[in-house]
Structure 1
Amino acid sequence: MAECKLVIFDCDGTLMDTENIAAEVECEMLKEMGIEMEIGEFNQRFAGTSSGFVKQTMEEESGRAFPDDYAAKVETKMNEKLWREAKAVEGAHELLDVLDYPRCICSNAGLDKLKIELSRAELWDRFRPYVFSSKDSGDFEQKPAPDIFLHAAKEFEVEPEQCMVLEDSAAGVAGAKAAGMRVIGFVGASHVLPGHADKLTEAGAETVVSRLADVPKTIEALALWDGFDV
């Protein structure tokens, strides 16, 4: 069995309880374009993706072109709101206090956004310099592509099968599985709606937890089920 040598965290919706903040900004901006969408619907459709993906999808669905500066405006408004309101998921610091594995973050979000929200929650210094952004990492495709996960494994000089990923979105789970990694789904943030755990398992998560405190023992349990030495 492969030894677990790296735990990879998603950020928004996993370490940071920020998906509803992002959805509020995105829905406000869509409304300015004449598109009405509830926050719950937005999270169901787009949580774990990127503003660029949202823009492209809604342009195709609405048949209208968004302004060239649309994505930049979304980013500015979101960063301002995150600096005021972002908070960590309950138990994030306590988990990191006891987690006895190398760790990093792999996110679709840009590094500026990640630094703002993680700094507000006093988590930035607990991960840097191992905060990897598919948006700001060269030519990597964003989740559900596996690129950012494979980059993290390469940086830590470990094999994909030696990595455990914690993800709250189906796109993130699919990306990690495509990279050849094992995945724990997370449903403990405030944006999660009933039925979300099923979506994560359908995407490839081996199990799902609702508390960050359960992550260490879940990794141990998965080793007994088949896969990692601990």
Structure 2
Amino acid sequence: MPLSLVLFDCDGVLVDSEIISAKVDSKMLKEVGYEISPSEIAERFAGLTQDRIAELLQEEAGIRLPEDYNDRQRQALDERLAAEVEAIAGVHEMLDRIDLPRAICSNSSGERLKMMLERVKLWDRFRPYVFPAREVGTKKTKPAPDVYLYGCREFDAKPAETIVLEDSVHGVAAAAAAGCRVVGFVGASHTYPGHADSLTDAGAETVIRRLSEFPAVVEAFADWEQV
């Protein structure tokens, strides 16, 4: 069974945005009395929506954030992303080498995705196949598998014929639950000790540190399927 589709997460895979998000969260949480480092935020919460992060903080630490916190966080993060976000090194060259249909499946909003992708000149390489989980299909976000299942359906591709590149435990779990082949990525600025092992434990079949490695992995997976 050959591969027929490649689905990409965006934050921390195509754009180096997770570290910016972690720094914003660390600063704003400190202002409300909760000390947490950007590296700890990246390890625990990368790939989750801000609403889910707020829910987890309340469940785990009893922190009730101000009512306007999420809105202020989104505004602060959008301002920094618009000014600072960069593409992951080698992303354009990697895309040039992959001759399969492709799409993005992300927990970020459609508006934010377009802003980031336009800034790093990736929007035209994916549109209209940019799927924000909260805005398509069931509107369930990762770690639910729904956005990856939606991406497969849009291309009439079987999950088993689809390869996913993901940087977060929650994203890997979502893609694996959808039945896709999953490759972990630990080459963004928010990577942490044990990151690769965490992605493997979540269901990644292999883990790469550079996007330049991905085309060979895609080819190897396709060859393996055909044996």
Task: Compute the TM-score of the two structures, normalised by the length of structure 2.
Answer: 0.96
Change in 2 beyond 3 A, CA 1:228/1:214? farther
- 3-state SS, counterpart of residue 45 of structure 1: helix
Match of 1:227 in 2: 225
- 3-state SS, counterpart of residue 31 of structure 1: helix
The yes-or-no answer on 1:169 pairing with 2:168 is yes
Inter-partner Cα distance in structure 1 for 2:203 and 2:122: 28
Match of 1:67 in 2: 66
Percent of residue pairs identical: 48
The yes-or-no answer on 1:47 pairing with 2:33 is no
- 3-state SS, counterpart of residue 135 of structure 1: helix
- Give the number of aligned pairs: 227
Inter-partner Cα distance in structure 2 for 1:160 and 1:30: 38
- 3-state SS, counterpart of residue 25 of structure 2: helix
- Once the two structures are superposed, the pairs formed by residues 127-206 of structure 1 within 5 Å of their partners are 127-137=126-136, 139-206=138-205
Higher mean displacement: 71-80 or 130-139: 130-139
Inter-partner Cα distance in structure 2 for 1:219 and 1:182: 10
Q: What root-mean-square deviation, in Å, do the aligned CA atoms of Structure 1 and Structure 2 show? A: 1.4
Q: Is the 8 A contact 1:162 1:228 kept in 2?
A: no
1:145 maps to amino acid? A
Q: Which runs of 5+ in 2 are unaligned?
A: none
- 3-state SS, counterpart of residue 104 of structure 1: strand
Inter-partner Cα distance in structure 2 for 1:14 and 1:64: 30
Higher mean displacement: 132-141 or 192-201: 132-141
Q: How big is each residue's C-alpha offset from its partner over 1:133-188, in whole Å with a ceiling of 9 and x where there is no partner?
A: 11222532211110000000111111111110000111111100100100011111
Q: Is the 8 A contact 1:4 1:228 kept in 2?
A: no
Inter-partner Cα distance in structure 1 for 2:182 and 2:190: 20
Q: How big is each residue's C-alpha offset from its partner over 1:93-122, in whole Å with a ceiling of 9 and x where there is no partner?
A: 111112101000000111111111111101
- 1:65 is displaced (CA, Å) by 2.5
Match of 2:79 in 1: 80
- 3-state SS, counterpart of residue 134 of structure 2: coil
Q: Which runs of 5+ in 1 are unaligned?
A: none
- 3-state SS, counterpart of residue 165 of structure 1: strand
Inter-partner Cα distance in structure 2 for 1:207 and 1:138: 29
Q: Is the 8 A contact 2:50 2:70 kept in 1?
A: yes
- 3-state SS, counterpart of residue 23 of structure 2: helix
- 3-state SS, counterpart of residue 7 of structure 2: strand
- 3-state SS, counterpart of residue 15 of structure 2: coil
Task: Compute the TM-score of the two structures, normalised by the length of structure 1.
Answer: 0.94
